Amino acid sequence: MECPGHSPSMPKSNSHPIDRRRFISLGAAGLGALVLRPAAARELGDSRRPYGERSPLEQAARTFGTSSTPATGSSRTPLQDLYGTVTPSSLHFERHHSGVPKIDPNTHDLLLDGLVERPLVFTLKDLKRFPSVSRVHFIECAGNSGREHEGRPGENVQRSHGLFSNSEWTGVPLKTVLDEAGLKPAARWIVAEGADASKMSRSLPLDKVLDDVLVAYGQNGEALRPEQGYPLRLIVPGWEGNINIKWLGRIMVTDEPFMTREEAAIYTDLMPDGKARWFTFVMEAKSVITRPSGEQILDGPGSYEISGLAWSGRGRITRVEVSTDTGKTWAEAHLNGPVLPKAATRFSLPWKWDGGEAALESRCIDETGYVQPTRDQLVEIRGLRAGPDGFNHYNGIKTWFVHRDGKVSHV
Amino acid sequence: MFKRNIFFLLGVLALTATAANLARHSALADSNGTRLPKDRANAAETARYAVGRAAMAADFAKHNYLVGPKGTGLPKGRGTAVEGRAIYMQSCVACHGLRGEGSNDYPPLVGGQGSLKTDKPLPTVGSYWPYATTVWDYVNRAMPYQTPGTLKPDEVYAVTAYLLAMNGIVSEALELNERTLPAVKMPNRDRFVPDPRPDVK
C-alpha cells in the first residue's frame, strides 16, 4: 500500500538542484539576521527498508561457548541489556540438540494420533483456521543457573540466568486441536515430537495439556524464528524449556509417559540419597537483578535504579523484595505491570548508592505464597550431586556485589 | 439426483453454525460428494471445526519413531551384543570410545553402577537410565550424532544389546527383539521418585 505523502515518485534532492537550493535559502531566511551565510544542510537520513534492523551502535548479543558439536548446545539472552519484559526474538535464548532444521511451512504438517477417535493431519494453514490466542509466557531452560547450584556462580547475568526469555506467543490451544480428534477414555498423556534431526520428544500429562498448552506459530507478532521452532512449536506455560517441543511434527495421545531420554534421564534431578526426581516440570518462582549486575560499572555515588526480572511457573508474581545489605533488610520493589501469569515481570526500586560496598539481592513471592529460596536452603535439601546433565531446576537468590570503585561482580 | 439434492442440502446447512458440527472429517475426505458422511449422527458431540484431514498410512509411515516403555511402537527386528559390537565399532566408537567411556562433549555410556550415592556420581545408560526401551528409542531417533536415522531396526537392537552387555545388564548371547527388549530390567529402574516440590519450606 502506497502512502501518498511518501510515494516513490517524490523528487530526489540530488536530481533537482533548484528545489534543493530553494530549500536551503528558505532555511537560511528562517534563521533571520543572526546568520550571515546559509547554514550547511542537514544530511538526509537513510531510506526505507523492508525489514528493520536495530542501530548498528547497539551490540547486545547472545553468547555461547565453543563445542565439538556446534549444532548441539545453547546460547544465552543478554538480560543485562534488555528493557521491559519482552525478549526481542533475535535475542531469545537457544537450545538445540541437533541443530536448527530448515522447514518449509507449506509442506510441514502435524500428525495427531494415538488414543483419539480420529487420527488427523493438520497443515499450518489448517491450524490457523482454529480460533487463535496470544499469550505472554517465559521459557526457561531447566538448566538455567545450574552453575549457581553447583557453586560456580555466573560472572554476569547473561551467564548466570541467560537461558531465560519471554515472548508473546500466538497459536491455538492444544485442547482445541485434541477436541477435533476426540480423546478416547484411556487418554492420560501426550507425547510430542519435533521434526529436527534428532526428533526431540517429550511426554506431557493430559491435565496440563488441557489447561493451557498452546500449539504456537507466532512469536512477538511474526512467525516463529527458526531457532524457536519455525514453523510450529509447543508452548507449555511455566514448565521447563525442553518440554516446549520445537519444530513440532507429531502428537501422540497415550495412556502413559513414553520415557524418552530427556524425561527419563537428562532432565531428572539426582538427590543426596542417590535417588532421582523425575517429571519435575514446573520452573519455580525466581528473580534476578539485571541492573546493576555483574561486570557493569557504576559512575560514582548517587541515584540509580535497581531493576530486574521475576517469574513463576505456578502463576503470577505478587511481590518482589530487594536488599542492598546481603539480606539483612528488604524493601518492596515496584512491579512494572502488567503482571501476567507464568510470564516475566519487571521490578524496579530507586536506589541511592553512597559509594560504599553493597550486596544486591532480590527475592520474589508468587500467588501460591511460595518464596524464592536461598542457595543454602536448596543445597541443604537437594545436595550437590550432578545428574546426567548437571544441575536443573535451580531457583536460588542471586547476589551482586558493588565494590567501592563502582565495579559490580558476582559473589 | 436424489443424492445431489442431499448434498446441496448439506452444503446449505454447513453455512449455519450448527452444521459446522455435522461436517465430519470422513465427509471432508470425500469432498467430491460421491457418498454420504458415514457417521454424521454423533458428529455434533465431537468434531467442532472440521479442520484437518484424516491421517493415512503414509502419515504413520513418516512418523514411526515413538517407542514406549511397554514396547509400544517397537518394530520387528533382532540383534545380539556380538552383532552390536561390530556396529558400535563402525558408528559409535569415534565419539563414545572403545569401552563406552565417552570423550569431550560425548557422554560416557558405560559404568557408574553404585556411584550415584557417592560424591562423584557417574550417571550413564548403565547406572542411571531406567528403561531399556529408552536406549533403543534414543539410538534410533538421534544416533549416530552426525547421521541420525541411518541405523536399521536390527542394527538398533544389536547396538542396544551391546551397550547393555557392556554394562553387565544382559548376557552377550541374549537376542534383543520387540518382545525381549521391554522385559529387560534396568538396575536403576526403581530409584526415581515423583516431584515433591515445593520442597523448601
Q: Which of B51, B116, B129 sits opposite A180 (nearest CB)?
A: B51
- CB-side exposure of A91: number of CA atoms within 13 Å? 22
Kindly determine whether residue B117 and residue A254, on different chains, have CB atoms separated by under 8 Å: no
Residue A271 within any structural domain of the chain: yes
pLDDT at A301: 98
Residue A29 within any structural domain of the chain: no
- The verdict on A263 and A295 lying in the same domain is no
pLDDT at residue B178 greater than cutoff 90: yes
pLDDT at residue A13 greater than cutoff 70: no
- Check which CATH number belongs to the domain holding A191 and give it: 3.90.420.10
Domain boundary pick from A276, A297, A332: A276
- The verdict on A337 and A259 lying in the same domain is no
Phi and psi for A330 in degrees, rounded to 5? -130, 140
Strand-strand pairing, A345-353 and A358-366: unpaired
Distance CA B95, CA B144 (A): 9
pLDDT at residue A141 greater than cutoff 70: yes
CA-derived radius of gyration, chain B: 26
Q: Which residues contact A57 (CB under 8 A, 6 or more apart)?
A: none
When pLDDT is averaged across residues A78-101 and rounded to a whole number, the result is 97
Does residue A275 sit at the B interface (CB-CB below 8 Å)? yes
pLDDT of A356-379, one tens digit each? Answer: 999 999 999 999 999 999 999 999
Does residue B200 sit at the A interface (CB-CB below 8 Å)? yes
Q: List, as own/partner pairs, every contact residues A184-189 make where C-beta atoms lie below 8 angstroms and the sequence separation is at least 24, other chains included.
A: A184/A115, A184/A116, A184/A117, A184/A253, A186/A115, A186/A255, A187/A114, A187/A115, A187/A116, A187/A253, A187/A254, A187/A255, A188/A254, A188/A255, A188/A256, A189/A253, A189/A254, A189/A255, A189/A256, A189/A257, A189/A258
- The verdict on A231 and A133 lying in the same domain is yes
Residue A143 within any structural domain of the chain: yes
Q: Which of B47, B55, B131 sits opposite A121 (nearest CB)?
A: B55
- The verdict on A87 and A236 lying in the same domain is yes
pLDDT at residue B15 greater than cutoff 70: no
- The verdict on A107 and A218 lying in the same domain is yes
- The verdict on A190 and A147 lying in the same domain is yes
Interface test with A, best of B120, B146, B197 (most A CBs within 10 A): B197
Nearest residue of B to residue A201 by CA position? B66
Distance CA B50, CA A180 (A): 7
pLDDT at residue B10 greater than cutoff 70: no
- Check which CATH number belongs to the domain holding A340 and give it: 2.60.40.650
Show the domain range for A293.
286-410
When pLDDT is averaged across residues A24-33 and rounded to a whole number, the result is 48
- The verdict on A379 and A331 lying in the same domain is yes
- The verdict on A105 and A221 lying in the same domain is yes
Nearest residue of B to residue A112 by CA position? B55
Does residue A256 sit at the B interface (CB-CB below 8 Å)? yes
Distance CA B174, CA B84 (A): 11
Nearest residue of A to residue B138 by CA position? A261
Helix (H, G, I), strand (E, B) or coil at A153: coil
C-alpha cell at B17: 453454525
> What is the C-alpha end-to-end distance of chain A, expressed in Å?
55
**Number of folded domains in chain A?**
2
Q: How confident is the model at residue B47 (pLDDT cuts 50, 70, 90)?
A: low
pLDDT at residue A321 greater than cutoff 50: yes
Residue A216 within any structural domain of the chain: yes
Kindly determine whether residue B53 and residue A117, on different chains, have CB atoms separated by under 8 Å: no
Domain boundary pick from A243, A276, A309: A276
- The verdict on A99 and A142 lying in the same domain is yes
pLDDT at A150: 96
pLDDT of B78-131, one tens digit each? Answer: 999 999 999 999 999 999 999 999 998 899 999 999 999 999 999 999 999 999
- The verdict on A98 and A139 lying in the same domain is yes
Asked if omega into B144 is within 30° of 0 (cis), the reply is: yes
Higher pLDDT, B201 or B127: B127
Which of A261, A222, A283, A238 is CA-nearest to residue A98?
A261
Interface test with A, best of B38, B141, B146, B184 (most A CBs within 10 A): B141
Nearest residue of A to residue B61 by CA position? A111
- The verdict on A97 and A183 lying in the same domain is yes
Residue A40 within any structural domain of the chain: no
pTM comes to: 0.87
Residue A268 within any structural domain of the chain: yes
Place of cell 536461598: A374
- The verdict on A339 and A382 lying in the same domain is yes
- Contact (CB, 8 A) for A293 and A157: yes
Contacts of B67 in chain A (CB under 8 A): 258
Residue A321 within any structural domain of the chain: yes
Q: What is the 3-state secondary structure (H, E, C) of B9-57?
A: HHHHHHCCCHHHHCCCHHHHHCCCCCCCCCCHHHHHHCCCCCCCEECCH
Residue A162 within any structural domain of the chain: yes
Q: Which domains does chain B have, with CATH numbers?
A: 2-54 (no CATH), 78-183 (1.10.760.10)
